[in-house]
Amino acid sequence: MNATLLDRLRTELDERRATVGLRRDLVVSGPQGPTLGVDGETLVNLAANDYLGLAGDPEVLESAQRALRDMGLGVTAGRVLCGTRAIHGELEAGIAELVGAEDAVLYSSCFDANLGVFNALLGPDDTVLSDALNHASLIDGIRLTPARRYVFAHADLDELERRLAESADARTRLIVTDGVFSMDGDIAALLRISELARRYDAALMVDDSHATGVLGPTGAGTAEHFGLQGGVDVLTGTLGKALGGAGGFVAGDRAVVETLRQVSRPYIFTNAMAPPLAVAALTAIRIARRRPELRERLTANTAWLRGALRDQGYDVLPGEHPIIPVMLPGGSRARDVAAALRRDGVLVFALSHPVVPAGEERIRVQVSAAHTAEQLELAAVAFGRARAVLAGS
Ligand SMILES: Cc1ncc(COP(=O)(O)O)c(C=O)c1O
């Protein structure tokens, strides 16, 4: 044991404990769904990304069970060795069809996909232009490329345009944005962004983790939401939110996807996705396409809860996505309300610095198509009662 390393880590942990506190994972029991088991209680789950309720869908689970029986669990090899099964290709074709792209390639997660894109597609003569509120995995992926980087203020398209004008000498310019921003639930202004991309001959990359299966009439994502055809060059997404399982992907033109298969390190140097996960994701995609009523229910549930929280006097950031940020800035107000909700049978998390800027503390509520009217009403009543803890603050 190296005492120098351990002493430093212990000191840093003590400091962290004394200042921001140490994170402790909540241990949940039972299956994923609109309610969750926590410490022997059943809580209404407003904290997960199970937008279409597919994480607990019987058809999805049965397909994974069949795959487990037929193909086993892990493949103990990478895709480029003996890890590839027919289901991987079938899922990639299913993803491409869902998002309206020529081709797609699987990763272990969207975090891995975002780590694997930039280094593979860009070099030192290129420039990345990235929204300041992009997901951590995009930020880390961009750090791995030698390309020049500009970070523009969140949704500030005037700054983006200035940066595009300044980087005219770049070989390739790649604009990068979340489709839906995970903390604010706002949807990127993709029509204007893609217009800028066209005007400045830049490529456009969108992380649609919170939009795949959710936005657009067929669940294709943010571009479809805006009626945008073919404007996104590189699309990344997750199989672990609306599609209910786990895994990530990149979709786009065949040349983009083939390049990633050849050189993207998180694709090459890792185990292939476990077949039961791949089968479950393909089943979820088919359900998401076949059952638009899930998106309709999600929209109705979201609109109802947004309205109910506003009626209770909460400051809810405007929007239409099932991420509903309830702003409770200052001190421990967000944490106090989250604790009161938990006592009343509702699971939410308070977000504070450094996850969101200081002074923008909030509770992030996430709605699912699987929530019943009774569960949403229970949540709304609990939010109403929780106002009592704000009275003195
Ligand atoms: C915008 C965004 N991108 C990427 C990810 C990572 O997805 P995954 O869980 O598949 O790694 C997340 C999830 O937190 C996300 O919100």
Please indicate whether residue 207, judged by its CB atom, sits closer than 6 Å to ligand 1.
yes
CA distances from 127 to 124, 130, 230, 334, 337 (A): 8, 10, 22, 39, 43
Please indicate whether residue 360, judged by its CB atom, sits closer than 6 Å to ligand 1.
no
Ligand 1 atom with the smallest distance to the CA of 135 is: 1
Strand order in the sheet with 346-347: 28-29, 35-38, 41-45, 346-347
Q: What is the pTM of this model?
A: 0.97
Span 262-286, pLDDT tens digits: 999 999 999 999 999 999 999 999 9
Is 210 a residue of the active site? Answer: yes
| Topology classification of domain 58-290 | Aspartate Aminotransferase; domain 2 (3.40.640)
Residues forming a β-bridge with 103: 252
Is 109 a residue of the active site? Answer: no
Is 29 a residue of the active site? Answer: no
The one catalytic residue in 88, 135, 241, 371 is 241
SS3 324: strand
pLDDT in tens, the chain (393 residues): 999 999 999 999 999 999 888 989 999 998 899 999 999 999 999 999 999 999 999 999 999 999 999 999 999 999 999 999 999 999 999 999 999 999 999 999 999 999 999 999 999 999 999 999 999 999 999 999 999 999 999 999 999 999 999 999 999 999 999 999 999 999 999 999 999 999 999 999 999 999 999 999 999 999 999 999 888 999 999 999 999 999 999 999 999 999 999 999 999 999 999 999 999 999 999 999 999 999 999 999 999 999 999 999 999 999 999 999 999 998 899 999 999 999 999 999 999 888 898 899 999 999 999 999 999 999 999 999 999 998 866
Domain regions of the chain by residue span: 20-49+292-390, 58-290
Pocket test for ligand 1, best of 49, 95, 135, 364 (most atoms within 8 A of CB): 135
Please indicate whether residue 248, judged by its CB atom, sits closer than 6 Å to ligand 1.
yes
Span 286-323, pLDDT tens digits: 999 999 999 999 999 999 999 999 999 999 999 999 99
Pocket test for ligand 1, best of 32, 49, 109, 110 (most atoms within 8 A of CB): 110
Residue-averaged pLDDT of the chain: 96
Task: Considering only the C-alpha atoms of the chain, give the largest distance between any 2 of them, rounded to a whole number of Å.
Answer: 62
Ligand 1 atom with the smallest distance to the CA of 137 is: 4
| Topology classification of domain 20-49+292-390 | Aspartate Aminotransferase, domain 1 (3.90.1150)
Return d(Cα 135, Cα 111) in angstroms, integer. Answer: 9
